[in-house]
Structure 1
Amino acid sequence: MSPDFIPLSPPENEDLLLERASNLAGYTLGELAQRAGLPIPQNLKKDKGWVGMLLEIYLGASAGSKPQQDFPEIGVELKSIPIDARGRPLETTFVCVAPLTGNSGVVWHTSHVRHKLARVLWVPVEGERAIPLAQRRVGAPLLWSPDREEEAQLQRDWEELMDMIVLGQVERITARHGEVLQIRPKAANSKALTEGIGENGQPIATLPRGFYLKKNFTASLLARHFLL
């Protein structure tokens, strides 16, 4: 980080967070990285979290890699979302790691997914591959909480997916399960195995899984708020 750049303290409230995020709109990732003294990767294949990390520096996020919201003091999660020229999401959005064991008694209302999505600061960023990473611009932010219909959709999918995990069907889950929420393998490589539960209740070695929001969900969310 540049010695001249002073990292911001965590925002005291949502208004300050939104103001900081709004001030970034229109800047390129290259301009922001240069100011912060952060090296720009060639591409995001090996540095998937780079854009989020860059935004965190300017917004004063304090959670780091801890399994809590990015702004725990005010209960807000940060999600950068790569979009195309029409403002539509280019990929699914990672929410959190899916627990594959110890799930007896878990319910939606106390789930990690619900906690993470209770309040989200969405920051759209140009994501088309034709645009060099340094030239991609940051868009206007959106502070969002699921409405009743969105929450009901998320809960239905979460319950269906968690039922499959608990019943030992983790290996049967595909990206097609769930209308708006899906579970997919989340591992650096196929050797990074974790413990799961097999169909007969026995421990099995399986790939770690993550919960992801499908593009249809985030697309309608952005379209509604930005009147696309």
Structure 2
Amino acid sequence: MITTPNPPKSVDELMQRAQDMAGLTLGQLAQLHNIRVPNNLKRDKGWVGQLIEHELGALAGSKPEQDFLHLGVELKTIPIDSQWKPIETTYVTVAPLVNIQGLTWEQSLVYHKLQRVLWIPVEGMRDKPIKDRQIGMPILWTPSEQELAMIRQDWEELMELIALGKVEQITARHGEVLQLRPKGANSRSLTQSIAADGGIKQTNPRGFYLKIPFTQQILNNYLAGI
């Protein structure tokens, strides 16, 4: 039987749990909770994140709020290679494509989610069996004013393009640190978005992602401070 640990009562307790988990393999952690390890992550893309959430007692699941809302902390697992380099961009949250008139940066989910982030590095090398991939030391990150300003600038530019009905013209190259990309089960997933004439059209859902150089810098700053 799989039981979910109680949510941590404080940031210190959360960090203690995360530090206790560091050094374990995904297989060892899964075994502690009687959770089956998948053979690959193609069909179970969110499995690693869900396992870590389970161990740390996160409650949000897929809700549009911080994973530890009562602590003001968002949880992000970050797959890394043997050199501690991120392997992929980091999903932040789904992007609103309609009803965005008057939406400000401070009201946005991107701003809300990135106020304080607990990063859990996990080995993500494709040639290493999932069960043998090791969990790294946690990093509790609060963005600096400069980092927040960079994210905000990208968010405002991307939201302006969405408001102008130009969502289809946005590519992963837009944005210095934040990008907008399709986010759905497949290309057949559709949602409403603003059309160029101000009406409504169908398009693929989009998500906000932090680019690799940005998360790389977070990891570098942590490693420099060890």
How would you bin the TM-score normalised by the shorter chain?
A: over 0.9
**1:134 aligns to 2:131 (yes or no):** yes
- What amino acid maps onto 2:67 in structure 1? D
Q: 1:11 aligns with which of 1, 8, 13?
A: 8
Partner of 1:146: 143
Q: How many residues align?
A: 225
- What amino acid maps onto 1:76 in structure 2? V
* Residue aligned with 1:155, SS: helix
The Cα offsets for residues 32-78 of structure 1, whole Å up to 9 and x where unpaired, read as 11111001111111111111111111111111221111111111111
C-alpha RMSD of the superposition: 1.1
**Where do 1:96-111 residues align within 5 Å?**
96-111=93-108
**1:94 aligns to 2:91 (yes or no):** yes
Q: Structure 1: how far apart are the matches of 2:187 and 2:218?
A: 33
Report how far residue 146 of structure 1 moved.
0.7
Partner of 1:113: 110
Tell me the TM-score normalised to structure 2 length: 0.97
- What amino acid maps onto 2:50 in structure 1? M
* Residue aligned with 1:70, SS: coil
Q: 1:167 aligns with which of 143, 147, 164?
A: 164
* Residue aligned with 1:227, SS: helix
* Residue aligned with 1:220, SS: helix
Q: Structure 2: how far apart are the matches of 1:53 and 1:139?
A: 16
Tell me the TM-score normalised to structure 1 length: 0.96
User: Which piece of structure 1 moves more, 47-56 or 6-15?
Assistant: 6-15
- What amino acid maps onto 1:62 in structure 2? L
Unaligned runs of 5+ in 1: none
- What amino acid maps onto 2:6 in structure 1? S
Report how far residue 190 of structure 1 moved.
1.5
Moved over 3 A (4+): none
Partner of 2:44: 47
* Residue aligned with 1:179, SS: coil
* Residue aligned with 2:187, SS: coil
- What amino acid maps onto 2:40 in structure 1? N
Q: Structure 1: how far apart are the matches of 2:218 and 2:22?
A: 19
Report how far residue 7 of structure 1 moved.
2.9
Q: Structure 2: how far apart are the matches of 1:180 and 1:186?
A: 18
Q: Structure 1: how far apart are the matches of 2:159 and 2:61?
A: 27
Partner of 1:212: 209
* Residue aligned with 1:55, SS: helix
* Residue aligned with 1:153, SS: helix
Q: Structure 2: how far apart are the matches of 1:179 and 1:209?
A: 18
- What amino acid maps onto 1:64 in structure 2? G
